[in-house]
C-alpha cells in the first residue's frame, strides 16, 4: 500500500518522548558477535554498560528540553532478572516508563516502540519521538536534544536520521510517531539499512535531515574504538578493565 503523503508540519503540542530500544543483556543472548573475543558474560556486561550509558544520554537530553520537559521510555525485550548487572539496570531505568517490545522483526518492533511510547503520553500521538538503541554509549545528549527540537519546530524536519558507520542507523526522530510504520518493509541489520530507511521515509513524503554519524558496538574491534570516544562512561571503564581483543578465527 502506498503511504499517505506527509501532512504539513504543525507545532508540537506535547513534549518529545525519548525511546531507548533495548534487549536485556543476558549472557549468550546479546552481543554474540563479541563472543569471538570476549566470553558471553563479558559481552553481556559490555552490553549492560552501554545500555546504562544510553539511558543516561537520553536522560541528559531530556534535561536540555524547554519548560515542557520530555518523556522517557524504554522499549524492552528479555528478562532483566537473568541479565548482567540486573540491580544496576533497574536503578538506571528509574524515571523511564518501560513498555514491552512487540512485533515479529526488528522493523516491526521499531514501529511499535514509537507508537507505544507516544500512546502513553499526555495528548496521545501529538508530540515527537526520538529513538536510539543500546549500542551507542557515546551518543551526545546535545545531538539528541537537537533532533527533538528539529522535529518539534513548526518549520523543522519531519524526521531526523542518524546514520551508523556500518551502513545502519543509530537515531530516528519523528515529528509524528505513526510515521515509524514506513519502516516496516525496510530490511534491518544490513549495510544498506540506513540508505533504505531514508528512502522509505522520503517515499512517505517526509522531509528528512541527518544527525552526525556514529559507529556502534558490534565487533570486538569496536569496543576500544568506541570507548575512546566516551572515556567517562561505564562502557569505557569496563572496556579498559577487559582490554582490547581481536576475534579468534573459527
* Separation between Cα atoms, residue 115 and residue 128, nearest integer Å: 11
Question: Residue 13: is its pLDDT beyond 60?
Answer: no
Which of 43, 62, 101 minimizes the C-alpha distance to 218? 43
What does the pLDDT look like over 26-66, one tens digit per residue? 999 999 999 999 999 999 999 999 999 999 999 999 999 76
Domain annotation covers residue 7: no
What are the phi and psi torsion angles at 8 (to 5°)? -60, 140
CB 74 within 8 A of CB 96: yes
Q: What is the pLDDT of residue 101?
A: 97
With vertex at residue 99, the alpha carbon angle to CA 95 and CA 33, rounded to the nearest 5 degrees, is 100
What does the pLDDT look like over 139-166, one tens digit per residue? 999 999 999 999 999 999 999 999 999 9
Domain annotation covers residue 3: no
* Separation between Cα atoms, residue 177 and residue 183, nearest integer Å: 12
Fill in the DSSP letter of residue 216.
Answer: -
Take residue 183 and report the three cell numbers written for it: 519502516
- Cell 516508563 maps to which residue? 97
Domain annotation covers residue 248: no
Domain annotation covers residue 4: no
- CATH number for the domain that contains residue 128: 3.90.550.10
Domain annotation covers residue 246: no
- Rounded to an integer, the average pLDDT of 81-100 is 97
Domain annotation covers residue 6: no
Count of domains observed in the chain: 1
Question: In 3-state terms, what secondary structure has residue 230?
Answer: coil
* Separation between Cα atoms, residue 167 and residue 140, nearest integer Å: 20
C-alpha separations of 78 from 100, 195, 196 in Å: 9, 29, 28
Domain annotation covers residue 247: no
CB 22 within 8 A of CB 89: no
Residue 83 lies in domain: 16-241
Which of 88, 79, 42, 90 minimizes the C-alpha distance to 217? 42
Domain annotation covers residue 10: no
Q: What is the pLDDT of residue 67?
A: 63
Residue 198 burial (CB count, 10 A): 18
* Separation between Cα atoms, residue 141 and residue 224, nearest integer Å: 21
pTM for this entry: 0.90
Q: Distance of alpha carbon 244 from its chain centroid, rounded?
A: 25
Contacts of 239 (CB under 8 A, 6+ apart): 46, 223, 224, 226, 227
Amino acid at each position: 500500500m502506498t503511504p499517505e503523503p506527509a501532512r504539513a508540519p504543525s507545532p508540537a503540542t506535547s513534549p518529545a518522548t525519548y525511546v531507548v530500544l533495548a534487549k536485556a543483556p543476558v549472557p549468550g543472548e546479546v552481543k554474540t558477535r563479541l563472543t569471538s573475543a570476549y566470553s558471553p558474560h563479558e559481552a553481556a556486561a559490555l552490553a549492560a554498560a552501554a545500555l546504562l550509558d544510553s539511558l543516561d544520554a537520553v536522560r541528559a537530553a531530556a534535561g536540555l528540553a524547554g519548560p515542557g520537559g520530555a518523556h522517557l521510555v524504554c522499549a524492552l525485550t528479555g528478562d532483566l532478572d537473568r541479565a548482567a548487572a540486573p540491580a544496576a539496570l533497574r536503578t538506571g531505568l528509574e524515571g523511564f516508563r518501560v513498555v514491552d517490545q512487540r512485533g515479529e522483526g526488528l522493523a516491526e518492533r521499531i514501529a511499535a516502540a514509537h507508537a507505544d511510547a507516544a500512546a502513553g503520553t499526555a495528548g496521545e500521538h501529538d508530540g515527537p519521538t526520538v529513538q536510539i538503541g543500546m549500542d551507542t554509549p557515546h551518543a551526545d545528549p546535545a545531538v539528541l536534544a537537537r533532533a527533538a527540537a528539529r522535529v518539534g519546530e513548526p518549520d523543522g524536519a519531519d524526521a531526523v536520521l542518524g546514520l551508523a558507520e556500518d551502513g545502519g542507523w543509530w537515531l530516528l526522530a519523528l515529528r509524528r510517531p505513526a510515521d515509524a510504520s514506513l519502516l516496516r518493509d525496510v530490511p534491518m541489520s544490513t549495510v544498506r539499512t540506513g540508505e533504505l530507511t531514508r528512502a522509505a521515509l522520503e517515499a512517505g513524503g517526509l522531509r528528512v535531515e541527518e544527525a552526525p554519524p556514529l559507529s556502534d558496538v558490534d565487533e570486538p574491534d569496536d569496543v576500544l574504538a568506541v570507548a575512546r570516544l566516551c572515556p567517562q562512561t561505564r562502557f569505557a571503564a569496563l572496556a579498559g578493565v577487559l582490554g582490547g581483543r581481536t576475534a579468534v578465527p573459527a
